[in-house]
Amino acid sequence: MNFEKKSEINIDRSLGDFSYDVDYTFDAGVGLSESTIDYICDVKNDPDWVRSFRKEGYRKFLEKPMPTHWATKDLENIVFENIRYYLSQGSIPKRTWEEVPEDVKKTFERLGIPEQERKYLAGVEAQFDSEAAYSNIKAAVGKQGVIFVGSAEGLREHPEIFRKWFGKVIPSGDNKFSALNSAVFSGGSFIYVPPGVKVAHPLQAYFRINAQNFGQFERTLIIADEGAEVVYMEGCTAPKFETATLHSAVVELVALKGAKIQYITVQNWSSNVFNLVTKRGVAYEDAQIKWIDCNIGSRLTMKYPGVVMKGRRARGEVVSIALAGEGQHQDTGAKMIHAADETSSNIISKSISLGSGRATYRGMVHVPKHLKKCKNNTECDALLINTQSRTDTYPAITVRGQGHSVQHEASVSQINEEQIFYMQQRGLSEAAAMSLAVNGFVNDLVEQFPMEYSIELKRLIDLEMEGSVG
């Protein structure tokens, strides 16, 4: 079997390549200016402090350079003037399934969400373009005093909690794209879990992009108060369009003393999407933040979930899977900032590159001199499918002072032709054999995803592998 000869990759995107007409009530037009931001503020009826926050974000966006010193040149191909920064269905968040527009239901149907998962959707905050098209907080969660709403509702209805943390974990000037998000954000979730409350069911959100040249800029803020526990899951698929689409979210997590937050993402962007996301959490004393992240699709993804361990014994963790298909670049990794004694962090990253796909691991671990007894473990494994596939690893580990423990392991492997032959001898097609080997490679990480997500993940991997051979 000669992989070089099989460079023709036809990824089956039939699950994502469709869109239905949606009546957009509000449309900020293409391009970005001060007046675009005023338009967004007026449409969303933003309070004054949000208006000035957006404008400050806009100024920083103009000031900040593109991260060209290390990022791929492909970033230069984003034409900010051609992007539509705000679109709305003009609908307020829906509470029941019956109220959800038929188009949206059809879209979910087409995505093949299984019956079981639709039950989950009963408690889902699903974003359809900029606005939450559907939002239904599970009664039980509400009774526990948990706030789970769209970010717009969050800033209007719960300003006392919202303002305290909003933009604090990721300041608008953190990078050019967080500044852009600060200027034009809409959608996303706001979650507050009161002290000691353990949310039994994962809270879910489902994002899609459904308008050509439309950037999606959701903004999520999750606060787990002292001793609280919450799991949040987001899944993304996007229909394919001919021109590039920009997705640039900001997600901020705050885990107060002894709190635990798990943030799970599975995404499958179509291959024209620039996915430039800033995700970071702050963990206070004895708190734990875990990012579980799976990136499939997109043209370019740049995403490095981070945890700032601010309190003693805080723990940060990033578990990530990236699959870079033909023409795609997954530039992902993690940032672990140790800022207190006895903090520990763990990074496990696995990537798969197929066709001309490129997977890059970029990790930053920072332990300053004055701290004691900090621990970090970093493991990154890469799997290359075709001879022209590419992987790079850039670990930046800065550890000063004594008594810290740091471990780093990296591996690169290729699917062995003898393995494929062995599986074919048992009756599996070459594609099925590849798929099984790839699923096996990521299996220990996939098991960390909730059941329905791991099934979807396996399905996504199968779909990607189907087009990758023969």
Partner 1 sequence: MNTLSIRHLYASIGEKPILEDLNLDIPQGEVHAIMGKNGSGKSTLAKVIAGHPDYTVTSGDVLLHGESILGMDPQVRARLGFFLAFQYPMEIPGVTIANFIRAALQARLPEGEELEATDYYAELYAKMDTLGIPRSFTARSVNVGFSGGEKKRCEILQMMMLKPRCALLDETDSGLDIDALKVVASGVNALRSSEIGMLVITHYQRLLDYIVPDRVHVMAAGKIVLSGEKDLALKLEAKGYDWVSA
Where do contacts with partner 1 occur on this chain (CB under 8 A)? 1-2, 416-419, 421-430, 432, 436-437, 439-444
Q: Please, which residues have CB within 8 angstroms of residue 355's CB and are 6 or more apart in sequence?
A: 7, 9, 325, 326, 327, 385, 386, 388, 389, 468
Between 113 and 445, CB nearer to partner 1: 445
Query: Closest approach of Cβ 262 to partner 1, in Å?
Result: 22
φ, ψ at 422 (rounded to 5°): -55, -45
**Token pair for residue 351?**
């990537």
Burial class (CB in 10 A: 0-12, 13-18, 19+), 243: exposed
Report residue 361 CA to chain centroid gap.
Answer: 15
Query: Closest approach of Cβ 462 to partner 1, in Å?
Result: 11
Between 84 and 350, CB nearer to partner 1: 350
Between 144 and 439, CB nearer to partner 1: 439
Between 213 and 419, CB nearer to partner 1: 419
Query: Closest approach of Cβ 421 to partner 1, in Å?
Result: 6
Q: Is 362 left (phi over 0), alpha (psi -120 to 50) or beta?
A: beta
Between 402 and 425, CB nearer to partner 1: 425
Between 76 and 417, CB nearer to partner 1: 417
Residue 360's identity, in one-letter code, is: T
How many other CB atoms are found less than 10 A from the CB of residue 301?
A: 26
Between 27 and 430, CB nearer to partner 1: 430
**Token pair for residue 180?**
């852009």
Strand pairing class (250-255; 219-224)? parallel
Are 166 and 252 spatial neighbours (Cβ–Cβ below 8 Å)? yes
Q: What is the spatial distance between Cα 222 and Cα 166, in angstroms, rounded to a whole number? A: 10
Are 259 and 284 spatial neighbours (Cβ–Cβ below 8 Å)? yes
Burial class (CB in 10 A: 0-12, 13-18, 19+), 327: middle
Q: What is the spatial distance between Cα 431 and Cα 418, in angstroms, rounded to a whole number? A: 14
How many other CB atoms are found less than 10 A from the CB of residue 422?
A: 12
Q: Please, which residues have CB within 8 angstroms of residue 205's CB and are 6 or more apart in sequence?
A: 124, 125, 126, 127, 189, 220, 232, 233, 234, 235
Between 212 and 413, CB nearer to partner 1: 413
Between 75 and 432, CB nearer to partner 1: 432
